[in-house]
Amino acid sequence: MTMRDASMRTESTVMTPETVGLLRADILGSAETMVREIQKRIPEYAPEGAGRQLRAGVDLALHRYLQLLDRHVDPAPERDTDWRDVYRSAGANEMRAGRSLDALHAAIRLCARLANRRLRAFAERHALAPHAVAWLSEAIFDNTDEIAEASADGYAQARQAEAGERDRRRRHLLGLLVGDPAPSEQALTAAAAAADWRLPRRLAAVVAAPGPAAPPPILPPEILGGFDHEPPCLIVPDPESGAEIRALVNGLAHRHVAVGLPVAPTDAGRSLRWARLALDLAAKGRIPRQHVVWCSEHLATLTVFQDEALVDALAERSLAPLAPLRADKRRLLAETLLAWLTFNRNAIEVAAHLHVHPQTVRHRLRQLTDLFGPQIRDPHRGFELEIALRARL
């Protein structure tokens, strides 16, 4: 028995069993008053629909006060399960109802003040000595902190569980978006609603290149993050607005990224494939390696390189006449041929582009004509040659 329990036991001699019974009835009778006062003073509990849950919470608090009174009469160990579980559950319910801890703690403090005020009035009506119920008055306020702490624990646990469940549902949604085969609109709509994510009219996939070890950036809730994918990918809604893309780029400042083409949600897998291809081509030098590679700026290259093995086969066949030459000579003629095709076979423009004399260009073109023959001027053949040269150069 603690010193406080002993004090409680000693003070019990000043309260008869009849008085204790009256006090119990008075405590139970205060529930309705407490509910009205809380709804009057705390806006979060004012709506009519909150009354039932509020009454249940007040009843729980009064039950705890009755336990304190029972311990005053019989200081045996508490026989119920951990009472904190009750308040943890109450805190969790507050979180699920969308109310804040501020409102909950304000209600707890108000209950304590009302209970203490009612206790003093009871003592005056029954001519009890001040010390007869002083211990209960002190215990009410001491217990307020314990109730607040337990309810805050339940609130935090519920919020963490909800966040974990939302993350799991968002990972499922991202996997559905970029999966193969493409999902149906109905499946996406249901998964997005479950993940609390607004399904946009258009979206774009973003792929990040491997970078230095670093924790995933904190991104806006509108962006679906898949940093556990290989390579890491994200889904950005309404990319045409630019705001989400800018936030994403800022968050991934330490990595190269490729942004796929905007598509309907059911085509997110395509946008992801294009972004991956763009990032791969940038790493190989096929397209300029920039911090952010926009697929929309390299559509022709992406179209050509959808199948790199096929492009390599085309290059090997089309550029076979250059194969026997020394590497430096082969590259010099290849660059001249590509410029000639690019600038519509204008030797003057080719010379300016290559920073050489036009006569030098004409000399090289004669060599190329000897190597490739009259096919070099065939438009169809020229198209294949330009593809092959761009792939190799």
Q: What residues have CB less than 8 Å from 172, skipping those under 6 apart?
A: 191, 195
- Asked whether residue 18 carries a pLDDT value surpassing 60, the answer given is yes
pLDDT given at position 72: 58
CATH for 3-162, among 1.10.490, 1.20.50, 3.80.10, 1.10.357?
Answer: 1.10.490
- Asked whether residue 13 carries a pLDDT value surpassing 50, the answer given is no
The larger pLDDT score, comparing residue 339 to residue 392, is at: 339
The larger pLDDT score, comparing residue 213 to residue 287, is at: 287
Average pLDDT over residues 125-143: 78
pLDDT given at position 1: 41
SS (H, E, C) the chain: CCHHHHHHHHHHHHCCHHHHHHHHHHHHCCHHHHHHHHHHHCHHHCCHHHHHHHHHHHHHHHHHHHHHHHHHHCCCCCCCCCHHHHHHHHHHHHHHCCCCHHHHHHHHHHHHHHHHHHHHHHHHHCCCCHHHHHHHHHHHHHHHHHHHHHHHHHHHHHHHHHHHHHHHHHHHHHHHHHCCCCCCHHHHHHHHHHCCCCCCCCEEEEEECCCCCCCCCCCCCCCEEECCCCCCEEEEECHHHCHHHHHHHHHCCCCCEEECCCECHHHHHHHHHHHHHHHHHHHCCCCCCCCEEEHHHCHHHHHHCCCHHHHHHHHHHHCHHHCCCCHHHHHHHHHHHHHHHHCCCCHHHHHHHHCCCHHHHHHHHHHHHHHHHHHHHCHHHHHHHHHHHHHHC
Nearest to 114 by CA among 47, 178, 58: 58
Average pLDDT over residues 277-293: 87
Average pLDDT over residues 257-276: 93
What is the per-residue pLDDT across 62-117, written as a single tens digit (0 to 9) for each? 877 777 777 655 555 555 456 778 788 888 887 887 777 888 888 888 888 888 88
The CA distance from 200 to 219, in Å, is 17
pLDDT given at position 369: 92
Any idea where the domains of the chain sit in the sequence? 3-162, 200-304, 308-392
Average pLDDT over residues 267-283: 93
At the top level of CATH, the class of 308-392 is mainly alpha
Nearest to 28 by CA among 54, 58, 51, 57: 58
What is the per-residue pLDDT across 145-163, written as a single tens digit (0 to 9) for each? 888 888 889 888 888 887 7
Angle (CA) 307 308 311, round 5°: 95
Average pLDDT over residues 229-235: 85
pLDDT given at position 34: 87
Average pLDDT over residues 195-201: 91
pLDDT given at position 176: 92
Q: Can you list the pairs that 307-316 forms with residues at least 24 positions away whose Cβ atoms lie under 8 Å?
A: 311/387, 311/388, 311/391, 312/391, 314/384, 314/387, 314/388, 314/391, 315/387, 315/388, 315/389, 315/391, 315/392
The larger pLDDT score, comparing residue 8 to residue 298, is at: 298
What is the per-residue pLDDT across 324-344, written as a single tens digit (0 to 9) for each? 999 999 999 999 999 999 898
Strand partners, 234: 206, 225
